[in-house]
């Protein structure tokens, strides 16, 4: 059996309270006492029982991270950042994969898993603005992205519109005029797809270029296969763009792949830019230009927002923090 505080206390000849004081770095412990306790801890290989501590404290030391799936590189990289940032704060992360399924996204919000964590970092894909009222407001929650907005919840946003606009402007700046956009979710306004498309359209409008529906590649999930398929359909229909804006990097990479297979040269015939700047963007052929966000910063900010709620007696005002971005120029845009 594992040693308990009782065992340590007995061996050190002190009370459990004193052991607890030592374990929790309570300052008013005599050095000599502390040392006796420490050595007893070492002797017994004592490790604190997290369940007991959590039960007593009313906290679990764990936070949830709900995301579509880890095999999407963007989310794997986000998870990496969140886990690292959480570890710095002594928190443990439980990842819940929602598969961008509406029911499972709701479950992450309210289900049993939610009860075993102190807070939730939430990156929804299926829920939308109409679900705002379903967001729990009593328990700490940070929303990532701009899919849902609520005045009652903390947000870390991505400046989707501005970054997409900047990406499109970059393509315009290198002389491209027939810019396809891949990954469109028709009718969507508030999600990443809707917002990034809005940025694209604003850039074109300001450049005085007319909107051409033939250049819109609509797809479902944002994977490479759909990026390839969207541009394939477009090319089959006889529409040949001189640039492609992928609403995320995997779409852009898929589209780039499909065009190369069909003999188009990137960037000579078609320039390509993505969004998110996943690691893979640095290693594709050619390397992929992209709108870059600092995921570590997103993770740290989200954790700060959560912890502000853990600590507070009165819940703080919900905050909305926007993450900075920059356009990274690589081979796919020449």
Helices (H), the chain: 5-12, 16-23, 31-44, 50-57, 73-88, 102-110, 112-115, 160-173, 192-206, 224-236, 249-261, 295-311
Asked whether the beta carbons of 138 and 109 are under 8 A apart, the reply is no
Nearest by Cα to 277 from 302, 265, 258, 295:
295
> How wide is the angle at C-alpha 65 spanned by C-alphas 62 and 67, nearest 5°?
165
* In the complex, minimum distance from the CB of residue 113 to DNA, in angstroms, rounded to a whole number: 15
Could you give the CA distance from residue 329 to residue 105 in angstroms, rounded to a whole number? Answer: 35
DSSP secondary structure string for all residues of 94-132: EEEE-TT-HHHHHHHHHSHHHHTSSEEEE--SS--GGGG
- Contact of residue 239 among DNA, a copy of itself, none (CB under 5-8 Å per partner type): none
Separation between Cα atoms, residue 203 and residue 128, nearest integer Å: 25
State the binding partner of 24 from a copy of itself, DNA, none, CB within 5 to 8 A by kind.
DNA
Asked if residue 225 binds a copy of itself (CB under 8 A), the reply is yes
Q: Which of 119, 241, 246, 254 binds a copy of itself (CB under 8 A)?
A: 254
Closer Cβ to DNA, 17 or 177, answer by number: 17
Q: Is residue 228 close enough to count as binding a copy of itself by CB under 8 A?
A: yes
116/134 with CB nearer a copy of itself: 116
CB count within 10 Å of CB 212 equals: 13
| Residue 77 in contact with a copy of itself, rule: CB under 8 A | yes
Establish if 49 lies at the interface with a copy of itself (CB under 8 A): yes
The CB-of-142 to DNA minimum distance in angstroms stands at 25
CB 233 within 8 A of CB 180: no
* Site pattern 273..302 for a copy of itself (x: CB under 8 A): ------xx-xxxx-----------------
- Minimum CB–partner distance for residue 215 and a copy of itself (Å): 22
Segment 124 to 163, residues that bind a copy of itself, using CB under 8 A:
none
Cβ-based nearer residue to DNA, 29 or 83: 29
3-state secondary structure of 138: coil
Nearest residue to 246 via CA among 214, 268, 264, 224? 224
Residue 69 CB-density burial (10 A; 0-12 exposed, 13-18 middle, 19+ buried): middle
Q: Which of a copy of itself, DNA, none does 159 bind, CB closer than 5 to 8 A by kind?
A: none
In whole angstroms, how close is the CB of 202 to a copy of itself at the nearest point? 30
Strand partners, 243: 179, 271
- Judged by CB, which is closer to DNA: 55, or 207? 55
Among 20, 233, 260, 304, binds a copy of itself (CB under 8 A): 260
Q: Is 38 in the site for a copy of itself (CB under 8 A)?
A: no
Degrees, nearest 5: CA angle 84-290-244: 145
Choose the one of DNA, a copy of itself, none that binds residue 122, judging by a C-beta under 5 to 8 angstroms depending on kind.
none
Q: Fill in the DSSP letter of residue 316.
A: P
3-state SS class at 179: strand
Q: Is 73 in the site for a copy of itself (CB under 8 A)?
A: yes
Per CB under 8 A, 4 contacts a copy of itself: no
* Partner that binds at residue 33, options DNA, a copy of itself, none, CB closer than 5 to 8 Å by kind: DNA
- Of residues 90-129, those binding a copy of itself (CB under 8 A): 92-95, 97, 112-116
Would you state the structure tokens that stand for residue 157, as one six-digit string? 């946003």
| Residues near a copy of itself, by CB under 8 A | 2, 47-52, 54-55, 60, 62, 69-71, 73, 76-77, 79-80, 83-84, 87, 92-95, 97, 112-116, 224-225, 228, 253-254, 256-257, 260-261, 279-280, 282-285
């Amino acid at each position: 059996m594992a040693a308990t505080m009782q065992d340590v206390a007995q061996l050190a000849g002190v009370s459990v309270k004193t052991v607890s004081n030592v374990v929790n770095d309570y300052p008013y412990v005599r050095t000599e006492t502390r040392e006796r306790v420490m050595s007893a801890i070492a002797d017994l290989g004592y490790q604190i029982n997290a369940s007991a501590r959590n039960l007593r404290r009313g906290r679990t030391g764990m936070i949830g991270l709900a995301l579509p799936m880890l095999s999407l590189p963007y989310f794997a990289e986000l998870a990496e950042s969140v886990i690292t940032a959480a570890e710095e704060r002594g928190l443990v992360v439980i990842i819940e994969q929602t598969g961008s399924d509406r029911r499972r996204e709701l479950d992450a919000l309210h289900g049993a898993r939610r009860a075993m964590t102190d807070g939730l970092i939430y990156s929804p894909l299926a829920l939308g603005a109409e679900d705002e009222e379903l967001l729990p407001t009593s328990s700490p929650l940070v929303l990532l992205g701009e899919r849902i907005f609520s005045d009652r919840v903390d947000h870390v946003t991505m400046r989707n519109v501005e970054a997409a606009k900047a990406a499109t402007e970059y393509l315009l700046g290198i002389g491209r005029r027939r810019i396809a956009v891949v990954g469109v979710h028709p009718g969507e306004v508030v999600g990443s797809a809707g917002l990034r498309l809005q940025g694209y359209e604003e850039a074109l409008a300001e450049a005085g270029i007319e909107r051409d529906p033939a250049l819109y590649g609509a797809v479902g999930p944002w994977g490479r296969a759909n990026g390839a398929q969207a541009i394939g359909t477009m090319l089959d229909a006889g529409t040949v763009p001189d640039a492609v804006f992928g609403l995320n990097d995997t779409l852009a990479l898929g589209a780039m792949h499909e065009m190369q297979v069909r003999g188009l040269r990137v960037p000579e015939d078609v320039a390509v830019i993505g969004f998110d700047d996943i690691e893979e963007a640095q290693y594709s052929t050619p390397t992929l230009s992209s709108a870059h966000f600092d995921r570590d910063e997103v993770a740290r900010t989200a954790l700060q927002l959560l912890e502000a709620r853990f600590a507070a007696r009165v819940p703080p005002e919900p905050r909305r923090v926007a993450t900075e971005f920059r356009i990274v120029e690589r081979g796919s845009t020449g």
